[in-house]
Amino acid sequence: MKTLHKAHIALLGTSLIFGANYWVAKGLMPGFLDPYQLVLIRIAGATVLFWLLGLSIKNEKIERKDIQRIVFAAILGTTINQLFFFVGLNLTTPVDVSIIHVSNPIFVLIFASILIRERVTFRKIGGIILGASGALILVVYGNHVDFGSDTFKGNLFAVCNMLAYALYMVLIKPVMRKYHPFTVMKWVFLTGLITTLPITFSHIPDISFSAFETTTWLSLTYVIIATTFGAYLLTIYALKHVDASTASYYIYLQPLIVAIIALWLGQQDFNLSKLLAALLIFAGVFLVSRKESK
């Protein structure tokens, strides 16, 4: 098998892992774990794994200015991102969250244009408007803008989660180019663990491990090893052989995978409002991601 084909299989595997994760994580909450407990366990597990992986590379000294960037990025990319993701997922549905997450390239473009002066064209502005419209429909449709609605609040948390992650991606990119990815990730997750502990630690004594079933342990293992650790390694492998824009297109598969699982489980209908929201977001991301013609 050609290396290029292996790279695309790795990206497809990453999309499948992330797509299934929405349902796996949703199955853990709130019956076995609340969002705060799951966040701490996931970040702690990933921290251990990345530090063990870091032993396989030469120790790198990080400059002081880069340490500040890593700390700020870690707070956004782990603490805020993970808390908002799991709290939002606990309140709304996997389909809604997965569609909102497809708008990530749009948010990245906005922050990149502000922070690193990336060129923004009228075509990209049009894409941003389309994507924002889709996200707005998904957040407010059917909820009568009721701030007491769990679905509304959950979708809003998912939007904030994606904003935090998009900003994290823009901030961490220069550091990733300068140091080995394993070096960066082990410090990102360690910082995230330290900043997450004060918020989540009080929830840990309430965990009833005796109530865990075999499927519970398997689901928790999946969230930590497959989603946080395995998917990252597959992406790293793929990016050695394909460009970032090619890899980013695979995020479009996640809502489809989540929707197929939803229909298979018989837990949700993919109605017209969600279809319209998805089409607007996909169209927006296409315009934003499309390369300029020469």
Q: pLDDT (tens digit, 9 = 90+) per residue, 50-93? A: 899 888 888 888 988 899 989 998 999 889 988 998 998 888 88
At residue 292, the pLDDT reads 52
Cα(59)–Cα(57) distance, rounded to whole angstroms? 6
* Residues in Cβ contact with 19 at an 8 Å cutoff, skipping those fewer than 6 apart: 98, 253, 254, 256, 257, 258, 261
111-120, 164-173, 234-243, 270-279: range with highest mean pLDDT? 164-173
- Compute the distance between CA of residue 192 and CA of residue 67 in angstroms, rounded to an integer: 13
Segment 221-241 shows an average pLDDT of 80
Q: What pLDDT is recorded for position 289?
A: 57
pLDDT exceeds cutoff 90 at 196: yes
- Give the domain ranges of the chain: 3-289
Could you tell me the sign of the dihedral formed by the alpha carbons of 110, 116, 117, 118, in that order? negative
Q: What average pLDDT does range 192-219 have in this prediction?
A: 92
Please check the confidence at residue 264 and state whether its pLDDT lies above 90: no
The pLDDT of residue 145 is above 50: no
